[in-house]
Structure 1
Amino acid sequence: MQEQIKQIAMRIQVLRDILGISAEQMAEHLSMTAEQYARYEAGGEDFSFSLLYKIANFLGVDFTDLLTGDSPKLHMCCFIKKGEGLAIDRRKAYRYQHLAPTFSNKKAEPFQVRVPYEPDKAGCPERNSHEGQEFDFMLSGKMRILVGESEFIMEAGDCIYYDSGYPHAMEALDGDAEFLAIIMK
């Protein structure tokens, strides 16, 4: 995993340099100090999904460009077999599978997300925010979702649509939860 983090950090640094964006400008855009940002770009800190998404949008590249170093090339359609999406394990709290990693110029980012049940960490999930809007559709399990100051309990078949600029987090209840997340730019 450490090598993957260093590769992502290198891609970000190279793109930032090519675009003439200073590290200070990047840190300011990401609402962090230059020192914090320097740790990420040096490969010393792991990138959350939300942070990678913000960086990709700011640099004007596809999310998968940062993850894999390979730009999406398909324009007509992208077919993914069950369980074969691009695995994105950026955080222990969530397991992502990108469901359209090879499609170019996406207007939305579709993910299948599994939230493991962790009873010893109940009650205080870390919140993140990113640009755009998000639609989440519960596939299985039961989950608590926090959006801003609001809290919702979701079960299979329930859905929620929200401004993902508000801090949000998910927590599995009574077992693992799985949902479809569509993030619109």
Structure 2
Amino acid sequence: MAKTDELVRARLRALRLERGLSQEDVAERAGMAASTLSRLESGARRLALDHLTPLAGALGVEVGELLAPATRDPRVKERSRIVEGIVMRPLSRHTPGGLIVAHMDFPAERTIPNPRSHEGHEWLYVLAGRLRLVLGDEDLILEAGEAAEFSTWTPHWMGAVDGPAQALAIFGPQGEKVHMRT
């Protein structure tokens, strides 16, 4: 039973974090004190069967998913979007509060800079072509194989130089709102 107990505790914590929920959020939804949930997750309190139903409900899963995670297709099937002329292809699933990885296709004709700022942080890696990155007062040209990392509070804009360009980007939930949902 000890091994099953450890797996359920780990699954409980993983589901909570995957959903971007605090212990307080889940405990309130499950009708228990946050300290109780903390002790359940850490093993300081024995996990009983009567805990499973309210915790599963608080996490929006069936009790069976706490006991054995559902096997899911690992392929990312998010749809591509065109945002300001850039084709954005998600390479990771959307998880609340999580990082997003995207493949970006920049058309050759996107040449008028319109720098914007927003909350967050971004990492960029140029796969093909040349990419112009306007970052605050700097105007940079990134070649294939080059990376850039920056705070998105700094006004920024990206566009292809001398033909189309492709890049990988990693950004947090704030960047997802700007880049993927506009």
Q: Taking structure 1 as reference, are residues 75 and 160 closer, same or farther at Cα in structure 2, changes over 3 Å only? A: farther
Deviation of the 1:151 alpha carbon: 1.5
The change in CA–CA distance for 1:106 and 1:150 in structure 2 (over 3 A counts) is same
CA distance in 2, matches of 1:172, 1:157: 15
| Matched residue, 1:100 | 92
Please report how far the alpha carbon of residue 76 of structure 1 lies from its aligned counterpart in structure 2 after TM superposition.
Answer: 9.1
Q: How does 1:170-181 map to 2 (within 5 A)?
A: 170-181=158-169
Letter matched to residue 149 of structure 2:
Y
Give the TM-score of the pair, scaled to structure 1: 0.50
**Residues 145 and 154, structure 1, Cα contact 8 Å, conserved in 2:** yes
Residue 86 of structure 1 aligns to which amino acid in structure 2?
R
User: Could you tell me how far 1:75 is from its partner in structure 2?
Assistant: 9.7
Identity %: 26
Residue 86, structure 1, aligned to residue 102, structure 2: no
Counterpart in 2 of 1:163? 151
Q: Which runs of 4+ in 1 moved over 6 A?
A: 74-78
Shift of the 76–164 alpha-carbon distance from structure 1 to 2, 3 Å rule, reads farther
Cα RMSD after superposing both structures: 2.6
Q: Does the 8 A contact of 1:80 with 1:99 survive in 2?
A: no
The CA deviation at 1:99 is 1.4
Gaps of 5+ in 2: 1-68, 174-182
Deviations 1:76-96 (A, max 9, x none): 987346xx542121322x111
Aligned residues: 105
Question: Which blocks of at least 5 consecutive residues in structure 1 are unaligned?
Answer: 1-73
Q: How many angstroms does 1:128 deviate by?
A: 2.1
Q: Report the residue type matching 1:111 in the other structure.
A: A
Greater radius of gyration (CA): 2
Kindly indicate whether residue 105 of structure 2 is the aligned counterpart of residue 114 of structure 1: yes
